[in-house]
């Protein structure tokens, strides 16, 4: 990760000859210094994807002017694109229930600046971690969720997210199913860690399902949240080998370690604009 300030341009467009030349020539014409670049062509869908980091102080203008000057190029290439500034920290809202391992891991990475973000607040349907979160100087909001209060609860989650100007919502073992309205409001901005190597064993108690099935690999999946339960575009996954001697409790213990690392990696890729969503798939430039 570069310490100097840079802009990150991410884009996708119909595949054609000359895309790289057109974009990099635009940057070069304005004396832009490219620090990192990644490209991918999807032959099946005929789609082209790119991610380019440009040294901010090599350009003679700021981000707003970059956007206005680059727009004709984007129009010409029929491009879906965005550009971000590394100097602007992303604001993350964490949702959690009663399991602490992912929350503890994220706060440790935030405190050590391994994740260079602002944690705007933590929201939970229980008050279990109120003291722990507030000890870190982070606002904590207890928003109970019951069968009768779901609509009001998720309206409050949305209000809080907007109030703190959240960029990304992270479900750090938040054991509730978000409302379709909340999912639809923030496409590509809500991340979940599912304690299973999806698409196998969706829903509750996947380790119990895996144990009953007699699998030899268990894993975890970081994915974007959509209205379809555990079916959103996958960002990151990992597995660990097990055998017949491992109990459900062993599998849960192993799984917690995988969940922490997979969520942290997936969140980092997202925050660094390394993930481009295309349909229900992702292109991840590591």
- Give residue 113's region: left, alpha or beta (phi > 0; psi -120 to 50): left
What does the radius of gyration of the chain's CA atoms come to, in whole angstroms? 21
- Whether 57 is catalytic is no
Distance of alpha carbon 152 from alpha carbon 143, whole angstroms: 9
In sequence order, which residues have a C-beta less than 8 Å from that of residue 215 and are 6 or more positions away? 200, 242
Place of tokens 């802009």: 7
Q: What's the rounded Cα separation, in Å, for the pair 114 and 130? A: 23
Number of Cβ within 10 Å of residue 54's Cβ equals: 21
Q: Which of 127, 230, 238, 250 is catalytic?
A: 230
Q: Number of helices (H) and strands (E), helices first, in the chain?
A: 8, 13
Taking the C-alpha atoms of residue 133 and residue 111, their distance in angstroms, rounded to an integer, is: 12
Q: Largest alpha-carbon pair distance within the chain?
A: 63
CA 224, CA 204: separation in Å to the nearest integer?
A: 18
Q: What is the dihedral of CA 147, 149, 150, 152, to 10 degrees?
A: 170
Q: Are 53 and 285 in contact (CB under 8 A)?
A: no
- Between the alpha carbon of residue 88 and those of residues 26, 84, 111, 241, the distances in Å are 24, 8, 18, 40
Whether residue 157 contacts residue 124, with contact meaning beta carbons closer than 8 Å, is answered with no
Strands 190-194 and 217-224: antiparallel
Q: State the catalytic residues.
A: 230
């Amino acid at each position: 990760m570069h310490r100097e300030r840079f802009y990150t341009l991410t884009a996708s467009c119909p595949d054609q000859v000359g895309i790289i030349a057109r974009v990099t020539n635009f940057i070069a014409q304005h004396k832009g210094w490219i620090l990192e670049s990644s490209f991918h062509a999807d032959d099946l869908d005929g789609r082209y994807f790119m991610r380019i980091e440009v040294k901010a102080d090599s350009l003679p203008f700021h981000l707003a002017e970059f956007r206005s000057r680059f727009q004709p190029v984007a129009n010409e290439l029929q491009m879906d694109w965005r550009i971000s500034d590394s100097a602007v920290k992303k604001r993350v809202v964490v949702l959690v229930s009663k399991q602490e391992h992912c929350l503890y891991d994220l706060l440790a990475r935030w405190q050590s600046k391994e994740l260079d973000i602002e944690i705007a607040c933590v929201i939970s349907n229980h008050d279990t971690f109120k003291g722990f979160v507030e000890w870190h100087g982070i606002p904590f909001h207890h928003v109970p969720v019951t069968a009768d209060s779901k609509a009001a609860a998720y309206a409050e989650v949305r209000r809080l997210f907007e109030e703190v100007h959240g960029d990304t919502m992270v479900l750090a073992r938040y054991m509730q199913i978000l409302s379709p309205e909340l999912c639809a409001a923030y496409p590509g901005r809500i991340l979940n860690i599912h304690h299973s190597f999806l698409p196998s064993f969706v829903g509750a108690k996947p380790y119990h399902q895996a144990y009953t099935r007699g699998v030899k690999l268990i894993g975890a999946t970081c994915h974007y949240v959509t209205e379809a339960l555990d079916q959103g575009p996958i960002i990151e996954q990992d597995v660990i080998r097990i055998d017949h001697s491992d109990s459900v409790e062993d599998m849960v213990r192993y799984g917690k370690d995988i969940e922490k690392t997979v969520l942290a990696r997936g969140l980092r890729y997202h925050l660094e604009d390394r993930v481009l969503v295309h349909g229900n798939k992702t292109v991840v430039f590591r």
